[in-house]
Amino acid sequence: MARYRSTAWRAVEFAAMRYFKSDNTAAVSAEILQALGAANQGVALAYGADRWSESLDAAFGKFFGREVRVFAVSSGTAANSLALATLCPPWGTVLTHAEAHIERDECGAPEFFTGGAKLSLVGGAGAKIQPRDLAARLAWFEPHVHGVQPRALSITQATERGAIYTPAEIRALADIAHEKGMTVHMDGARFANALVAQQVSAADLTWKSGVDVLSFGVIKNGGMNAEAVVFFDPARVADFEFRRKRAGQLFCKGRYAAVQLLAYLETGLWQRNAERANRLAARIAAAAPQLLSEPFATNQVFMKLGDERIAALSGEFGFYPWGPTGSGEARFVCSWDTPEQDVDALCAALTKLR
Amino acid sequence: MARYRSTAWRAVEFAAMRYFKSDNTAAVSAEILQALGAANQGVALAYGADRWSESLDAAFGKFFGREVRVFAVSSGTAANSLALATLCPPWGTVLTHAEAHIERDECGAPEFFTGGAKLSLVGGAGAKIQPRDLAARLAWFEPHVHGVQPRALSITQATERGAIYTPAEIRALADIAHEKGMTVHMDGARFANALVAQQVSAADLTWKSGVDVLSFGVIKNGGMNAEAVVFFDPARVADFEFRRKRAGQLFCKGRYAAVQLLAYLETGLWQRNAERANRLAARIAAAAPQLLSEPFATNQVFMKLGDERIAALSGEFGFYPWGPTGSGEARFVCSWDTPEQDVDALCAALTKLR
Amino acid sequence: MARYRSTAWRAVEFAAMRYFKSDNTAAVSAEILQALGAANQGVALAYGADRWSESLDAAFGKFFGREVRVFAVSSGTAANSLALATLCPPWGTVLTHAEAHIERDECGAPEFFTGGAKLSLVGGAGAKIQPRDLAARLAWFEPHVHGVQPRALSITQATERGAIYTPAEIRALADIAHEKGMTVHMDGARFANALVAQQVSAADLTWKSGVDVLSFGVIKNGGMNAEAVVFFDPARVADFEFRRKRAGQLFCKGRYAAVQLLAYLETGLWQRNAERANRLAARIAAAAPQLLSEPFATNQVFMKLGDERIAALSGEFGFYPWGPTGSGEARFVCSWDTPEQDVDALCAALTKLR
Amino acid sequence: MARYRSTAWRAVEFAAMRYFKSDNTAAVSAEILQALGAANQGVALAYGADRWSESLDAAFGKFFGREVRVFAVSSGTAANSLALATLCPPWGTVLTHAEAHIERDECGAPEFFTGGAKLSLVGGAGAKIQPRDLAARLAWFEPHVHGVQPRALSITQATERGAIYTPAEIRALADIAHEKGMTVHMDGARFANALVAQQVSAADLTWKSGVDVLSFGVIKNGGMNAEAVVFFDPARVADFEFRRKRAGQLFCKGRYAAVQLLAYLETGLWQRNAERANRLAARIAAAAPQLLSEPFATNQVFMKLGDERIAALSGEFGFYPWGPTGSGEARFVCSWDTPEQDVDALCAALTKLR
């Protein structure tokens, strides 16, 4: 059998480069490291019974302005998959965008965790699902045993093409889903970036608009190795805790995951880091607005450069060509710690390309 | 549906106590925190393509004295389950001890990761499998489609009752397993404690004695949130990497897992921490040798105290009553950072009990 | 990879033999074939919407004296596994006997259908579970996320060693199970044999004694290829129908399964066939009562013959040596169509062995 | 939880109707019933060791002109899913048409049997996959652990919209698949109808064109409850037999499945029945060729009638409106035993509609 190494990702030596490939290549914010050190005192009960883990519900409840149940896991894939496994039975289906991370970049993790539930795909520009497309896709399902039953909707905030859903847009989708008896999951790997890009509250962008469960991303935006799964309705938690344990995602030294989540919220890190990343990306978008292939919104910039320009930039800058071979599109991502001078250089290079 | 919170574990307030419940309530060693800080510089390729992750094979290869393939995961449960899923097909069975962690304490994780393989149990004192018992259990399986097929043996080092397997003992079991076409997995959650308890090498205790894959425990012995899966035969890796990704155990900021494993080996932390934990536990065992219910070997001490003595000690010391209700047995575990004065106090109390 | 053919079962040419290996080598009763022919008229709605399938609930309801929901499947393994998958979540466990068919002879089917639930084993003579043993096994489980949770009890009627549970015995086990929030499944592969062996009603032996779901065996006792899953509480059906479809066990020409079940009940075939099989087996048991290794009860006879007698009988008679190699035990099974003269011959041979 | 009964399919009383809904509402051919009766003599070894089951390889080998391995299962869903589970690992993906039965009508069975492999969909008129579309879809997959890996292609013959693949068309698709290291599965639920519609051999339509595994449909075309899974390369069988047992699809009275498959081939039933069904359908297509919404090829006729005509015909004829609500399309299927006078009546009604 052919075997693949993760290093298949590595096309080039990156040491010499200014790096815009992804926000997950960033380091960890000082606030997170400090919190880890501060928690490193004496014994703490294992498996989530420590005082940091036990204060997660209250901290996130304050952030979201309502009672919530919160659980730490070690990756966004785990967060998404455990949430979906709790919401969707094996004979159910999760409606999601064809370009969603859960469909394209998790090696079938949702299918694994759910026991074989199906992802049913919806198209749409900007990796955003439109209400009419969701409704049309749902019309194919019939309430009989021959087909899988729609049980959950999963949307990504910000989307895989950098777009954001407004509260009104989320509400329109959630209403369709809820009317069918489905629940609404939000993959918030870049939730903070989407939140600071709008003049709305965290509540507006989630439960007030119909989101039932949120994968609350921390790692990309300054965290080390903890994400949060947030249930806005405690009743939806159901058997999540058994599933988390069974998936190897209940950590014996749980304080080191919980304290990252707490520091992220309580020091305002989520906001500072997201605002900086978005601001830097905005500079890139503004440097060559005529090349944008997606409207700019958060910390991702998509441009139709053409293969020649991509080749020209590849010497100095690290970034992903996007889409199928020959699309000529490129993605630039800024993180919380992208050097300002790297952005200066990229903007200058893009300006020259005009 | 009834729901259980991890806090069901918490019977009492522990702040006032001297704590011997488990080594997983310990803090993280300074060497680990320092290594995390040192790795926190600039960008690093994501998903295991960073230079720390890429040097794991070499570092563990040096430690074990042969070519190995090594992968970081976030918990011992994940390490065990991913290893077993790679070694055992859904229609196979893993032979293991009836008191093994994979059977008793992982909420069915091996069954989940393998797609429903069965654990077939063997008894034996000290949570140790004896060759004759393994052979007898294997005699029940027949090579036809009506029954599951034995495909892997999993032994724990040190065992769930603190015992150790010598190289010769491992070899005897491995020979039986290999002769049946099975592979040998070692759950090494306390591998370092078992290793420093014997005058043998890491190689002697693993591949030289027939171990094919090792869950190499780091967290209990000073680590934060990274364990290693070590394949002694690169060909056995098979589809492990797909399974890891699909399980949400491939971390985008992989350097923070890898660097823990590197620091653990390269600073000698594994040895210092294990030796201290074992030494402290030896003091406890020596304080009341007549009460020992298991021969002392590593950092766990099992004593037949009786319910009255258990109650008497419970005011000052935190520890687990062990076995079924009414067994009168208790377990005391020392970790790398158990305070010496807590051991003094426990030894004094035990001496008084005589 | 080694591959096994079902023919591994075939040790010898059986054409010349008098055959007592199993009741599943029997032919199909004339009543079943006639019913298949009678149903073979014109079109019938597919996938269980035919009039035969739709009358199953009423026919079985009459048989059992209460409202039931009944579903046809094509094998006992499918019946057991689909029932258990409906009753037990992936993180649950099914308590069952160590010699149960679901543990020993279904290649892990319950684990497959449940998504990896664990079977937890209880010992006991005659492959029968005793209340005290069930209670003792249950005492090991704790209501926290670290271990699987007991959710179902599965008992076999008649057992894999030919024993029967009386209504009072079932009640004692069911009370223990129900008190723990578990449900009770009965593997009734030989339910009719157990029923006619006692002066009780079908209701007494099932729901009146606490059985929640029954795998109602038909094939061994004269059927062709249909078994029934009977839910005594319609609310327990839950998502069974989705699981059945998803398992390839919802048949497009459903009438040919349903009509077998109807004929089995409505012509009294279940009783005639079971009585004959039991009567023939009773003759065998009576021919050498001193050799019986299990008390005789239904259509299976277990004898401690010793290897020499087994060898001596093997020339003329087909039967299984039972248990581990060297046990010296043998099993003789009579079916509805075992020739009377074959029993004559076996009795004569056994008498000579005295 | 909402529960659905299969009877959701039943919109109307069908007794008074001429019935064109599906070929799976047909009865069973006399040849099949006769074969079942003939096999009903004396004992036969269980679980596929009977002489009928053991002659399957030879009988199908003769039919296909090469060595094959053949296994009986009880439904088309089981045939497809078990085949795909053998060909595709959990982290793999099966490329198939968006309207394929395995995607739309099996309630996620392939995902269940494979342990959560993904189906990746390709569009195309007539529910047929075109080589360029397959290649374009495959271009999205990359050989790294982040995404599922394409491991099998599944095509339906005849397709869900009545179209056929020629040997050359199959070869073009198979070449693309094989070049990517994938295997080729054919869902032949209506294989006989597709075969008699072309002047080619069974070998031409399968292994000679690159098909690796065939779900050979028998039930729709006159069988009762047995389909065949045919492996053209014995090495591909791999662990299929364990998976079949584990899925409850290894039948104890195996002769009654095997003998249906043998009778289907050896009496020429496959050909007679398929030719009659196709001929009747051809009459319907010819009655209103201007209304055809798909080119006519086998025993399915698709017409764009509009909702008014659909309503008008629904009083006398049973058939499915097809596609999403409001499509105005209808499907008429003829089976081996559709009454000639029903076709007369439908043709007359269609002619009047012109």
- Report pLDDT digits (tens) over D212-269: 999 999 999 999 999 999 999 999 999 999 999 999 999 999 999 999 999 999 999 9
Percent of chain A scoring above 70 in pLDDT: 95
- At residue A256, φ and ψ (nearest 5 deg) are -75, -20
Chain C's closest residue to A143, CA to CA, is C242
D149 contacts B244? CB cut-off 8 A: no
Residues 174-203 of chain A whose Cβ lies under 8 A from any Cβ of chain D: 181
Say yes or no: A140 contacts chain D, CB-CB below 8 A.
Answer: yes
Tokens of D124: 């195309």
User: Contacts of residue D246 in chain B, CB cutoff 8 Å?
Assistant: 90-91
B248 contacts A249? CB cut-off 8 A: yes
Tell me: the pLDDT tens digits for A131-143?
999 999 999 999 9
User: Contacts of residue B115 in chain C, CB cutoff 8 Å?
Assistant: 112, 116
Chain C's closest residue to B100, CA to CA, is C147
Chains near B with 3+ CB pairs less than 8 A apart are: A, C, D
Say yes or no: C43 contacts chain B, CB-CB below 8 A.
Answer: no
pLDDT of residue A100: 98
Measure C337 CA to nearest chain D CA, in Å.
8
Q: To probe the interface with D, which of C43, C82, C231 has the most D CB atoms within 10 Å?
A: C43
Measure D105 CA to nearest chain A CA, in Å.
5
Helix/strand/coil for A152 = strand
- Look at strands B300-304 and A329-333 and give their pairing: unpaired
pLDDT of residue A325: 77
pLDDT of residue B354: 65
Tell me: the pLDDT tens digits for D41-100?
999 999 999 999 999 999 999 999 999 999 999 999 999 999 999 999 999 999 999 999
Q: To probe the interface with C, which of D1, D5, D6 has the most C CB atoms within 10 Å?
A: D6
User: How many whole angstroms separate alpha carbon D130 and alpha carbon C316?
Assistant: 62
* Section A101-130 average pLDDT: 98
ipTM, interface predicted TM-score of the complex? 0.95
C117 contacts B119? CB cut-off 8 A: no
Q: Could you report the average pLDDT of every consecutive run of 10 residues in chain C (354 residues)?
A: 35 63 96 98 93 97 98 98 98 98 98 98 98 96 96 98 98 98 98 97 98 98 98 97 98 97 98 98 97 97 95 93 87 97 97 82
Residues 278-297 of chain D whose Cβ lies under 8 A from any Cβ of chain C: none
Measure C145 CA to nearest chain A CA, in Å.
5
Say yes or no: B325 contacts chain A, CB-CB below 8 A.
Answer: no
Tokens of C138: 């249950």
C4 contacts B145? CB cut-off 8 A: yes
First to last CA, chain C: 47
pLDDT at position A207 over 90 = yes
Q: Name the β-bridge partners of A228.
A: A72, A216
Among the partner-chain residues C2, C9, C145, the one whose CB lies closest to the CB of B4 is: C145
Measure A58 CA to nearest chain B CA, in Å.
16
Residues 58-97 of chain C whose Cβ lies under 8 A from any Cβ of chain B: 90-91, 93
**Spatial CA neighbour of A320 closest among A4, A19, A15, A13:** A19
Burial pattern A115-145, b for ≥16 Cβ within 10 A else e, equals bbbbbbbbebebbbbbeebbeebbeebeebb
Among the partner-chain residues C93, C111, C181, the one whose CB lies closest to the CB of B118 is: C111
Q: To probe the interface with D, which of B71, B145, B252 has the most D CB atoms within 10 Å?
A: B145
Measure D55 CA to nearest chain A CA, in Å.
33
* Section A80-104 average pLDDT: 98
Say yes or no: D14 contacts chain B, CB-CB below 8 A.
Answer: no
Q: Tell me: cis bond preceding D127? Omega within 30 of 0 counts.
A: no
Query: Taking the CA atoms of chain A, what radius of gyration do you get in angstroms?
Result: 20
Tell me: the pLDDT tens digits for B152-185?
999 999 999 999 999 999 999 999 999 999 999 9
B111 contacts C146? CB cut-off 8 A: no
Say yes or no: B31 contacts chain A, CB-CB below 8 A.
Answer: no
Transcribe B48-102 into DSSP letters: T-SHHHHTHHHHHHHHHTS--EEEEESSHHHHHHHHHHHHS-TTEEEEEETT-HH
D90 contacts B146? CB cut-off 8 A: no
Picking from A165-174, A288-297, B253-262, B316-325, which range would have the lowest pLDDT averaged per residue?
A: B316-325
Say yes or no: C252 contacts chain B, CB-CB below 8 A.
Answer: no
CA dihedral defined by D127, D131, D132, D133, rounded to 10 degrees? Answer: 30
Among the partner-chain residues B89, B90, B250, the one whose CB lies closest to the CB of D145 is: B250
D244 contacts B91? CB cut-off 8 A: no
Are the beta carbons of A248 and B109 closer than 8 angstroms?
yes
Question: Chains A, D: CB contacts under 8 A, how many?
Answer: 87
Chain A's closest residue to C89, CA to CA, is A239
User: How many whole angstroms separate alpha carbon A39 and alpha carbon B233?
Assistant: 39
pLDDT of residue B229: 98
Helix (H) or strand (E) holding A195: helix A191-196
C91 contacts A239? CB cut-off 8 A: yes
Say yes or no: D105 contacts chain C, CB-CB below 8 A.
Answer: no
- Look at strands A18-19 and A317-318 and give their pairing: parallel
Chain D's closest residue to C104, CA to CA, is D246
Say yes or no: C14 contacts chain A, CB-CB below 8 A.
Answer: no
Say yes or no: A142 contacts chain D, CB-CB below 8 A.
Answer: yes
Tokens of D199: 């002047």
Band of residue D5 on the pLDDT scale cut at 50, 70, 90: very low
User: Contacts of residue B243 in chain D, CB cutoff 8 Å?
Assistant: 90-91
Are the beta carbons of C117 and C91 closer than 8 angstroms?
yes
**Spatial CA neighbour of C8 closest among D80, D82, D84, B149:** B149
D115 contacts B146? CB cut-off 8 A: no
Q: Which amino acid is at B191?
A: F
- At residue D56, φ and ψ (nearest 5 deg) are -60, -45
pTM for the predicted model, two decimal places: 0.96
Measure C24 CA to nearest chain D CA, in Å.
6
* Section D302-312 average pLDDT: 94
Residues in chain D: 354
